[in-house]
Structure 1
Amino acid sequence: MTSGTDSNPGGDRLSVGTYVVDRDATDDPDRAVVVRLPDAVCATWEIEDTDQTVADYNPDYSSEAPVAIVVFEPALDSVSEWHHSDPDDLWPLVQTHDLPYYAYPEPRLEPVGDSLAGHTHTEPMTIWFDGACEPVNPGGHGTYGIVVAQGEEIVHEERGYIGEGEGITNNVAEYEALVAALEHTQAEYPGAPVTVYGDSQLVIRQLTGEYAVRSPRLRPLWQDARRLANQLDVEFEWVPREQNERADALSREAYYEQTQQEELDKRRERAANEPMQITPLGDETYEVKGTYTVDLTARSCTCPDYENRGLPCKHIFKVKQNCEQS
């Protein structure tokens, strides 16, 4: 492309570092980042290796519209330092790494979100992550917990369920936890220095390169974690389990929630398949089987199962099902 003096005159021009999408793209357009605003218009900016200008390629836009140079995020993601680069450093970075770039009429580009400068954070971030496979490993329920802090303040906690059965292990759950934590931090706090703590020696040492990744099941997860880590200023440190209590507790909460939900689903199914005599008593209360009293307002029952475990029993589900059908 022809060269020119970079400028950013007043008015409604974009800024270097702004996230944009192509207004003319269909479906779900890829995001790009403005890396240069040359002092040129579409009629004078020639496309590299062609004898045509940006205006020739964009007849629906004014030939006097200013030109913006962009690089799409997938290309930028191959360069680990771009997320914490100053906007003024983007164009030199593109040239240094020979990244593909494209010239557009500025009016064709729609800003999305904030600028790169607005997304850059410098306060240190801390991540704790943990995963579990219960009640058996492998093949149990895979869950995870993550804690993200900015300085001394916890800014994000998350627990999640991965799945059950073949292919689920403690190590898989640990990696899923780490990927979830890195994805959140990269999206919300790009540019911030990050320290990651985990009690899995395998995961931490594979990320630091001390251990090889030989498992076909773990390699894609390791690649995802490594790719995200390359976009952050990150250090990995192993800690004993007692120093990772909150993330561990979140992963266990996810397990209990999942198994409790499975138990509730079984009770709901038993209620649907089991005939029960139900007698309305008034005020949202019902007698079931001539023995137990269900209070729908309090979601309670006088049966031993409810009184011992505190979970909605099959009698409660049966009354609800009958009410919904009537």
Structure 2
Amino acid sequence: MIEVYTDGASSGNPGASGAGVYIKAHGDKHEFTFPLGNMSNHEAEFHAVLKALDMCAAYFPGEILSFRSDSRLVVDAVEEDFIKNLAYKPLLAAIHEKTSKFPYFFIKWIPEKQNLHADRLARQAILQARMEE
């Protein structure tokens, strides 16, 4: 099973945003940062999950995925397959489409203090985004 920690962050709301992905797989640890441009914090959280799914598809196809996020909005939306905000519906649909390519996908909410690796990576991505402006 692959353990995946995701976090999205923005400086301002909306503002410069980034996604951090921390993956534990087969005894190895992988870190990814993704500058996302300007968006809200909630959008960045959804994009972090999408980026993580892309990394899993590239490096761990066919594996069982266990995701962790400190975004209740994202975790609840994915678990319930429902989101009130219409702006996030395409992101939720994309997550479900990508997860369908894996035998099992789990997502769990965790407190911020248990998501420090992904948080650090998301903040690094914001700095990268600012440098690219």
- Compute the TM-score of the two structures, normalised by the length of structure 2: 0.91
* Residue 205 (structure 1) aligned to one of 76, 83, 101: 76
Query: Which residue does the alignment assign to 1:91?
Result: none
> Aligned partner of 2:32: which letter?
E
Match of 2:19 in 1: 144
Name which of 26, 29, 43 aligns with 1:172: 43
Runs of 4 or more consecutive aligned structure 1 residues displaced over 4 Å after TM superposition: none
State whether structure 2 residue 3 is matched by structure 1 residue 129.
no
Which AA in structure 2 matches 1:198? S
- Counterpart CA distance in 1 for 2:126 and 2:77 is 26
CA distance in 1, matches of 2:32, 2:48: 9
Question: Secondary structure at 1:218's aligned position in 2?
Answer: helix
Structure 1 contact 126–151 (Cα < 8 Å) conserved: no
The one of 163, 179, 182 aligned to 2:37 = 163
Q: Structure 1 residue 248 and structure 2 residue 125: aligned?
A: no
Deviations 1:261-284 (Å, cap 9, x if unpaired)? 54xxxxxxxxxxxxxxxxxxxxxx
1:222 and 2:92 are equivalent in the alignment: yes
> What is the total number of aligned residue pairs between the two structures?
132
Distance between the aligned counterparts of 1:225 and 1:213, measured in 2? 13
**1:152 Cα offset (Å):** 3.2
Q: What secondary structure does 2:66 align onto? A: strand
C-alpha RMSD of the superposition = 1.5
Question: SS where residue 197 of structure 1 aligns?
Answer: strand
Q: Match of 2:65, as an amino acid?
A: V
Q: Deviations over 1:177-197 (max 9, x none)?
A: 100111111232122111000
Map of 1:234 onto structure 2: 105
Q: Distance in 1 between matches of 2:26 and 2:72?
A: 25
Identity %: 26
- Higher helix proportion, which one? 2
Unaligned runs of 5+ in 1: 1-123, 263-326
Deviation at 1:259, TM superposition (A): 2.5
Distance 2:62 2:92 in 1: 21
CA distance in 1 between counterparts of 2:130 and 2:48 reads 19
* Residues 1:182 and 2:53 are matched in the alignment: yes
The residue correspondences of 1:251-290 to structure 2 (distance < 5 A) are: 251-262=122-133
Which protein is richer in strand relative to its size? 2
Specify which structure has the bigger relative contact order, considering alpha-carbon pairs within 8 angstroms and separated by 6 or more residues: 2
Secondary structure of the residue aligned to 2:87 is coil
